[in-house]
């Protein structure tokens, strides 16, 4: 079956934050993803090492529907088709695994597998982005199957298990691709489809892994949508009609927005604070300036260098958030929710007020939000925090938030572990908007 694909050249998409603090090696022309008519892109999503956005047989069932969000533009969201594997060959063969450096974005290897199963990754890298251990993002492809991708490190064993496409429809996957790091699937997003002349046709909704199955005849179309960082896209797409497969790689970056780090030593002392990015990433902006570390003097009430109430930074990183546990909150009730939730995690006073003042006016994209908490266990694998002298107690909390039209409770609630301030205390909060 012919599978026509196209790819946008990956380029850094700067958000409103700026100021890359890490030097990167530019990829050469040979490092770019190359896609032929008979192969899905060189980028792939996950096995069980990936985030919960991974496409697996357990997350995409025969009842999965890709078109559940109500029409918002009057054209009618009628293009989506319920996904079903009934009667389809569910075992992929002749698989290709394209391995890229996670952190530099360079092509490291093209691997093959005769059939689905496990493979141990031992791809060498002359200059790993983060120390001595190579880190990868890998696209897994096979004709007649959805592309998947995974993040892994040297020596990891991954499981490759792809889902078949529906041959009577147009199938595809939309990736928000970063320049140096692995992509993020455009999950649960409404895409408006128009003719090239601007005449609206309708719309469809991607599933939780960025995939779609749609009714669309051969031709050229504009796919318009808003991504997880609230940026607008209008992409030209060509399809040969039913049986076609489209992997769309849209240049974008993941952004960890406005983490604040509050420091409370027991006496006036000099403190060194260093961030690390084990899976690739870099600081985009900071106050005071982050030149590889913060070297600051802090009072017991948290005043830094006589001028700041906290250390502020933003960073671009791979999306390694957990999407298993969280809360669904009405937008109108976000302030009350965050006040109570932050307090439950041990934040108080100006720490809570700073959060409310900044984020409540900015979270207005839908009737409700899914809120996924990331504590130190989830944050440390992609952003480390090293403080000298070592604090006695540390609380780290990032909220990954996503606007949703489904306001009914549909997430498993997390268990909040109590936090006790003891001695030299450090607290950090931030938000990842999807």
Q: Which of 366, 346, 381 is nearest to 433 (CA)?
A: 366
Most confident range (mean pLDDT) of 303-307, 364-368, 377-381 is 303-307
Q: For position 65, what pLDDT does the model report?
A: 33
Question: What is the per-residue pLDDT across 283-314, written as a single tens digit (0 to 9) for each?
Answer: 878 999 998 999 999 999 999 999 999 999 98
Predicted TM-score (pTM) of this structure: 0.50
Residue ranges, comma separated, of all CATH 2.60.40.10 domains in the chain are: 29-251
Q: How confident is the model at residue 282 (pLDDT cuts 50, 70, 90)?
A: confident
Per-residue tokens: 335: 């302030």
First-to-last alpha carbon distance for the chain, in angstroms, is: 34
The SS3 call for residue 393 is strand
Count of H-run helices and E-run strands, the chain: 3, 24
How wide is the angle at C-alpha 429 spanned by C-alphas 427 and 430, nearest 5°?
A: 155
Question: What is the per-residue pLDDT across 183-228, written as a single tens digit (0 to 9) for each?
Answer: 888 888 999 999 988 899 999 999 988 999 999 999 999 999 987 6
Q: How confident is the model at residue 177 (pLDDT cuts 50, 70, 90)?
A: confident
Contacting residues for 396 by C-beta, under 8 A, at least 6 apart: 375, 376, 379, 380, 385, 427, 428
For residue 38, pLDDT over 90 is answered with no
Q: For position 52, what pLDDT does the model report?
A: 36
Residue whose structure tokens are 């990433």: 281
Q: What is the largest CA-CA distance in the chain?
A: 70
Least confident of 49-63, 80-94, 313-327: 49-63
Q: What is the mean pLDDT of residues 248-266?
A: 84
The DSSP string of 97-147 is EEEEETTT--EEEEEEEEESEEEE-----SS-TTTTS-EEEEEEE-TTB--
Contacting residues for 405 by C-beta, under 8 A, at least 6 apart: 69, 70, 366, 367, 368
If one compares 321 and 155, the residue with the highest pLDDT of the two is 155
Q: How confident is the model at residue 147 (pLDDT cuts 50, 70, 90)?
A: very high
The CATH H-level (homologous superfamily) assignment of domain 29-251 is Immunoglobulins (2.60.40.10)
Q: For position 254, what pLDDT does the model report?
A: 57
For residue 89, pLDDT over 60 is answered with yes
Rounded to an integer, what distance in angstroms lies between the CA atom of residue 143 and that of residue 39?
6
Q: What is the mean pLDDT of residues 95-122?
A: 94
What b/e readout covers 244-260, taking b as 16+ CB neighbours within 10 angstroms? bbbbbbbebbbbbbbbb
């Amino acid at each position: 079956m012919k599978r026509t694909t196209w790819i946008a050249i990956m380029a850094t998409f700067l958000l409103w934050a700026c100021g890359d603090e890490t030097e990167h090696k530019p990829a050469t022309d040979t490092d770019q993803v190359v896609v032929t008519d008979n192969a899905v892109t060189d980028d792939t999503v996950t096995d069980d090492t990936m985030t919960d956005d991974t496409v697996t047989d357990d997350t995409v069932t025969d009842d999965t529907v890709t078109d559940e969000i109500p029409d918002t533009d009057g054209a009618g969201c009628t293009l989506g088709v319920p996904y079903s594997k009934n009667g389809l060959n569910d075992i992929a063969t002749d698989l290709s695994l394209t391995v890229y450096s996670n952190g530099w974005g360079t092509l490291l290897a093209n691997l093959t597998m005769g059939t689905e199963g496990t493979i141990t990754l031992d791809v060498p890298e002359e200059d790993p982005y983060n120390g001595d251990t190579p880190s990868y993002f890998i696209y897994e492809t096979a004709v007649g199957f959805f592309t998947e991708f995974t993040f892994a490190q040297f020596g990891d064993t991954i499981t490759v298990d792809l889902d078949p496409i529906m041959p009577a429809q147009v199938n595809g996957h939309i990736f928000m691709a970063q320049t140096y790091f692995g992509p993020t699937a455009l999950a649960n997003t409404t895409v408006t489809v128009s003719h090239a002349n601007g005449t609206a046709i309708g719309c469809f909704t991607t599933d939780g892994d960025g995939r779609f199955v749609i009714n669309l005849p051969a031709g050229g179309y504009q796919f318009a949508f808003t991504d997880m960082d609230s940026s607008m896209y209008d992409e030209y797409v060509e399809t040969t009609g039913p049986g076609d497969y489209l992997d769309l790689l849209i240049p974008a970056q993941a952004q960890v927005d406005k983490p604040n780090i509050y420091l409370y030593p027991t006496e006036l002392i000099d403190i060194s604070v260093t961030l690390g990015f084990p899976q690739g990433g870099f600081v985009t902006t900071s106050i005071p300036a982050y030149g590889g570390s913060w070297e600051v003097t802090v009072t017991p009430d948290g005043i830094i260098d006589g001028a700041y109430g906290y250390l502020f930074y933003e960073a671009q990183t791979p999306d390694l958030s957990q999407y298993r546990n969280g809360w669904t909150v009405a937008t109108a009730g976000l302030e009350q929710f965050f006040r109570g939730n932050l307090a439950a995690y041990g934040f108080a006073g100006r720490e809570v007020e700073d959060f409310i003042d900044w984020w409540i006016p900015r979270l207005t994209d839908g009737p409700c939000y899914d809120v996924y908490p990331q504590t130190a266990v989830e944050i440390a694998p992609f952003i480390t925090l090293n403080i000298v002298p070592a604090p006695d107690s540390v609380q780290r909390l990032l909220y990954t938030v996503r606007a949703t039209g489904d306001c009914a409770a549909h997430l498993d609630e997390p268990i909040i572990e109590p936090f006790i301030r003891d001695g030299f205390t450090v607290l950090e909060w931030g938000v990842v908007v999807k």
